[in-house]
Chains A and B, each alone.
Chain A
């Protein structure tokens, strides 16, 4: 199954561009962007995103969507889908500070339960764009607002047979901060995101970092 995903990833467009959190101000962002990212972000993941700069209620915004699949846990129910909107908060010349809000739907199936989560990712990215490169810093809160938990048969048999199935409120999420660097290469752009990650209980996550490499294409 993992091999299948790798093959699919290789077949995806090899040109790409920044997702909703690219450094450009929405009014200067490319109209269309496609991005492919791979790396570690709460799992070894492959992420495909699309962003479109447009105008909404008279304001420049970047609307985007991305799909993330963990390739180390891949089964039919593991994944994350986000739909976001980014706006510029501050900007001057090559400097820019952007905010993005992205409602999130995610799922997983493991030995204790199936989880279906509804959340929202709020993040800011600020930095400097040179002629053929950029550098920025980001911070974000990925909050889980409600989660449907269906305890597995194994959990009921081995641990707690009366575990309650249903929607659970505000069960957690993650906090992150880090850096992004990127450079224009040929007709696209390559970027590296890396930083530290914590749970909303302020404890480090199992692997307390994220690091992904992306390649994007704009037109």
Chain B
């Protein structure tokens, strides 16, 4: 049977069929396959990463959502380099254009250590840093702060945009709100299910391609702007599924030590998002001793891409408030 399968595939290849598993055909190549992409080597992984601004300037580190997303839709934040900051973008392990790993090779400890080492990679002694985390990235930043505090004084603050949750119970409630927006008889869900006849997630390229069907459509609760949809490079399907499976299995509570974090943080939300509600974001903000909540009107979850001017204004106001000046 296996021999017949191999023979058939060989025949189809000989007939000129493309290989859905080959990166570059349906999904872009990662840093492993394309050495021209900017990358760093961290913790046994090759990560897609780039910076804007001077290397010795105060650092703004951007953490993308997902898990399994990428930073392409967050690139409007590169404008902060003009304010004298070094703005760091990187795709997390198994996501975007970073190196892929099988599910069995992924762990939460590894993700936390990745972030610590990326912080170390881009900051010299005494070089201050502020996180800007979007969605899962805001959860990731909080996880780091809950574990390391201000990391020896290096972490001066955080801009947290619509984190889903800081505990498992909050995440369950968040998922309920997200899923409530999905129409069970709707075309989007039907398209995803029907497409499974055509392709199986047997390898990273196919899994990521199939996952992009969900990502392009987006979740109704996010209220994306159909006239200005967020771009992305490549979904990290395996990393996304595995991280969610791990936290579901093990649970998490990233609020245990947040009371000790005495820096100011700001939460920025869009008022159209029906999953990251005002009440839910207020509950999350209350986990920090010094947090303020800012709402941008008329925008949903993809506020950084859709409304960069207003978002950057709020970020700049926050950076001024905490006296996190750029090196101009």
Interface residues of A (CB under 8 A from B): 42-44, 70, 72-73, 78, 80, 106, 108, 110-112, 115, 117, 119, 142, 144-147, 149, 151, 154-155, 157-160, 162-164, 166-174, 199-201, 203, 205-207
Contact = CB atoms under 8 A, between A and B. Distances in A.
Contacts of B5: 170
B247 interface: no
Contacts of A172: 196-202, 206
B197 A42 contact: yes
Interface string B271-283: 0000000000000
Contacts of A158: 216, 229-232
Contact of A108 (B27, B194, B212, B217): B194
Contacts, number: 154
B28 A160 contact: yes
Contacts of B28: 160, 162
Contacts of A167: 12, 15-18
Contact of B185 (A72, A117, A159, A166): A72
Nearest to B230: A158
A72 B190 contact: yes
Given A159-B231, A168-B19, A169-B13, A42 B193 contact: yes
Contact of A164 (B26, B194, B229, B230): B26
B190 A73 contact: yes
A203 B193 contact: no
B202 A78 contact: no
B216 A206 contact: no
Contact of B197 (A44, A72, A106): A106
B198 A106 contact: yes
25 contacts: A43-B190, A106-B197, A106-B198, A108-B195, A111-B191, A111-B216, A115-B195, A146-B12, A146-B17, A151-B26, A154-B216, A160-B26, A166-B16, A166-B18, A167-B17, A169-B19, A171-B198, A172-B201, A173-B200, A201-B207, A203-B201, A205-B193, A206-B189, A206-B193, A207-B193
A201 B28 CA distance: 22
Interface in B161-200: 185-187, 189-200
Given A168-B19, A168-B25, 10 more contacts: A73-B194, A108-B198, A110-B191, A115-B198, A159-B212, A159-B234, A164-B24, A170-B5, A172-B201, A199-B196
B200 A147 contact: no
B233 interface: yes
Nearest to A147: B198
A171 B212 contact: no
A205 B210 CA distance: 12
B38 interface: no
Interface of B: 5, 8-9, 12-13, 15-20, 24-28, 185-187, 189-202, 206-207, 209, 212-213, 215-217, 229-234
Given A43-B194, A106-B197, A159 B12 contact: no
A103 to B, nearest CB: 14
A73 B191 contact: yes
A155 B212 contact: yes
Nearest to A207: B193
A75 B231 CA distance: 26
Contacts of B230: 158
Nearest to B9: A170
Which of A42, A151, A164, A199 is most buried by chain B, counting CB atoms within 10 A of its CB?
A199
B213 A112 contact: yes
Given A72-B185, A111-B217, A158-B216, A163 B198 contact: no
Which residue among A42, A70, A142, A160 has the maximum number of chain B CB atoms within 10 Å of its CB? A160
In this complex, which of B198, B201, B231 has the most chain A Cβ atoms within 10 angstroms of its Cβ? B198
A157 B5 CA distance: 35
Nearest to B192: A206
A68 to B, nearest CB: 10
Nearest to A1: B187
Chain A CB count within 10 A is highest, among B9, B193, B212, for B193
A117 B194 contact: no
A112 B190 contact: no
Contacts of B192: 110, 206
A159 B306 CA distance: 16
Contacts of B195: 108, 110, 115
B17 A168 contact: yes
Contacts of A170: 5, 8-9, 12, 20
Contacts of A108: 191, 194-195, 198
A199 B200 contact: yes
Q: Report, nearest first, the 3 A-B pairs whose CB atoms are least far apart.
A: A172-B200, A169-B12, A73-B190
Given A160-B234, A164-B25, A167-B17, A206 B196 contact: yes
B70 to A, nearest CB: 10
B325 to A, nearest CB: 36
B200 A200 contact: yes
Given A110-B191, A199-B201, A205 B217 contact: no
